[in-house]
């Protein structure tokens, strides 16, 4: 069966070229199929009519078969326009002659030619020409029913065969191009959705640039001007330089996150998810925030074993944890405590980041992951890291994960990120796609022991 399909594909792809547009390719394929389907019956009926003493009809059938062979040769020589024209005009002439001389039902094939012309050409004038020609031919066929009285008529079964074949061709050709149309509609719809998603990402990125990059750079410019003009004393200058360095580090982090996010939005996840150890990533991130934790006298406790891991894109994982840990440090009170610990169920490994900070009202916590927040200062007026929770949610979802917040004002928050366990990634894709993000949030709640 595979060999038959291979040869059939080879025969129907004569004259096609990868540089062709999708519609040109399908039209060339249709011309090949019509020619192949016409050659064998034309030659067979040529022999049959010859032995039944219908010599003129045998000649018409034989000529029709030769023209179909010529169509394939033109296709082979990469002349698709000549092939289309020869296919339609030669079949029109020979079917008309057969119908008007023998009334063999070939007028139905003229209708097939009319349909084929509308499918193979975009020019309306060609549709009109073939429409008028077919209409005139059908009128002549029925105006002169007894034009050939020298040879015996074609048997009724042959007439029925021609009619049935014509109807089958009409159904097949229309369905062939309907499939093409529906496929193109699906492609257009997929592209529309993809463009909408890209536009949303662009809107997020530009909103972030407006909120979290423009304003800090303006304050940096003010600081640099003040240092340049030497309007500060030595003690104030040292504090300004410290703040300047802190803001530059944070803005570099924001720009790095933006580049990572933009790359993910345009190309999908650049590298496939892999097993990533959790503890080394968190320790590296905490090292980067060492200065802020010392300044706020924070105690950070890490309850994660060396072997624990998740399946995730490593770059995305770093961005997610860096933003969440930065948030916890930013909104923790001085001398507060931050705990980072894990839990798991059958599908997810959960990473919990618990702080004893300002917390957030439940009515506002719902919007944290969906609306870009205005820039806000921490408990000791430290600037934000930038992208915040909208970026985190986006990257978590790209990696098949879930995120949740449990917060009480003035008592603190627990941010929970659930990422797939290795066995979850091995499941069938259909099983993974059964639950939407909202459904996952309903299913995977925080255990009671992890509430505030």
pLDDT tens-digit readout, 90-132: 999 999 999 998 888 888 999 999 999 988 898 899 999 999 9
Question: Would you say the C-alpha torsion 304, 305, 309, 315 has a positive or negative sign?
Answer: positive
As a whole number of angstroms, the distance between CA 1 and CA 4 comes to 5
List, in order of start, the domains of the chain with CATH numbers. 2-154 (no CATH), 272-452 (3.30.565.10)
As a whole number of angstroms, the distance between CA 199 and CA 290 comes to 37
Q: 173 and 115 in contact (C-beta within 8 Å)?
A: yes
Neighbours of 430 (CB within 10 A): 7
pLDDT class for 371, splitting at 50, 70, 90? low
As a whole number of angstroms, the distance between CA 321 and CA 298 comes to 18
pLDDT of 303 over the 80 cut = yes
Q: Residue 126: its pLDDT value, please?
A: 92
Q: What is the DSSP string of 13-76?
A: TTT--TTS-HHHHHHHHHHHHHHHHHHHHHHHHHHHHHHTT-HHHHHHHHHHHHHHHHHHHHHH
- DSSP, collapsed to helix, strand or coil, labels residue 104 as coil
Q: What are the tens digits of pLDDT across the range 78-100? A: 898 999 999 999 999 999 999 99
pLDDT of 439 over the 60 cut = no
Taking the complete model, does pTM exceed 0.95, yes or no? no
Q: Residue 194: its pLDDT value, please?
A: 79
Beta 299-303 vs 274-277: how paired, if at all? unpaired
CA distances to 30, 263, 281 from 315, in Å: 49, 11, 10
Q: Give the residue among 222, 276, 285, 221 at the shortest CA–CA distance from 253.
A: 285
Residue 368 host element (H or E) = none
Q: Residue 264: its pLDDT value, please?
A: 57
Q: Residue 338: its pLDDT value, please?
A: 93
pLDDT class for 201, splitting at 50, 70, 90? low
């Amino acid at each position: 069966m595979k060999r038959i399909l291979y040869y059939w594909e080879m025969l129907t792809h004569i004259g096609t070229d990868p540089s062709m547009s999708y519609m040109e390719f399908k039209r060339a394929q249709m011309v090949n199929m019509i020619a192949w389907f016409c050659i064998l019956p034309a030659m067979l009926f040529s022999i049959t009519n010859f032995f039944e003493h219908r010599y003129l009809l045998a000649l018409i059938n034989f000529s029709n078969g030769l023209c179909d062979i010529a169509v394939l040769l033109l296709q082979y020589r990469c002349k698709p326009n000549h092939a289309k024209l020869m296919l339609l005009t030669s079949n029109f002439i020979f079917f008309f002659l057969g119908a008007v001389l023998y009334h063999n039902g070939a007028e139905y094939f003229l209708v097939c030619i009319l349909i084929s012309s509308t499918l193979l050409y975009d020019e309306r004038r060609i549709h009109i020409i073939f429409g008028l020609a077919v209409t005139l031919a059908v009128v002549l066929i029925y105006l002169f029913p007894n034009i050939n009285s020298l040879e015996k008529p074609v048997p009724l079964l042959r007439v029925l065969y021609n009619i049935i074949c014509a109807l089958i061709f009409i159904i097949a050709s229309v369905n062939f191009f309907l499939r093409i149309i529906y496929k193109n509609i699906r492609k257009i719809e997929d592209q529309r959705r993809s463009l909408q998603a890209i536009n949303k990402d662009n809107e997020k990125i530009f909103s972030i640039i407006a909120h979290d990059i423009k304003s800090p750079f303006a304050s940096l410019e003010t600081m640099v001007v003040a240092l340049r003009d030497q309007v500060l004393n030595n003690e104030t200058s040292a504090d300004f330089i410290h703040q300047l360095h802190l803001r530059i580090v944070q803005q570099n982090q924001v720009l790095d996150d933006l580049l990572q996010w933009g790359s993910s939005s345009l190309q999908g996840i650049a590298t496939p998810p892999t097993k990533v150890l959790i503890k080394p990533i968190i320790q590296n991130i905490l090292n980067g925030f060492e200065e802020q934790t010392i300044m706020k006298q924070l105690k950070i406790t890490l309850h994660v074993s060396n072997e624990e891991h998740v399946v995730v894109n490593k770059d995305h994982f770093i961005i997610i944890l860096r933003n969440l840990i930065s948030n916890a440090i930013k909104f923790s009170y001085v001398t507060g405590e931050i705990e980072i610990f894990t839990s798991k169920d059958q599908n997810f490994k959960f990473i919990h980041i618990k702080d004893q900070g300002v917390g957030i009202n439940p009515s506002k916590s719902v919007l944290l992951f969906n609306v870009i927040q205005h820039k806000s200062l921490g408990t000791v007026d430290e600037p934000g890291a930038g992208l915040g929770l909208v970026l985190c949610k986006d990257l978590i979802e790209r990696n098949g994960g879930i995120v949740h917040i449990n917060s009480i004002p003035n008592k603190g928050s627990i941010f929970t990120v659930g990422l797939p366990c290795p066995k979850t990634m091995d499941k069938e894709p259909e099983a993974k796609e059964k639950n939407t993000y909202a459904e996952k949030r309903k299913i995977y709640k925080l255990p009671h022991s992890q509430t505030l």
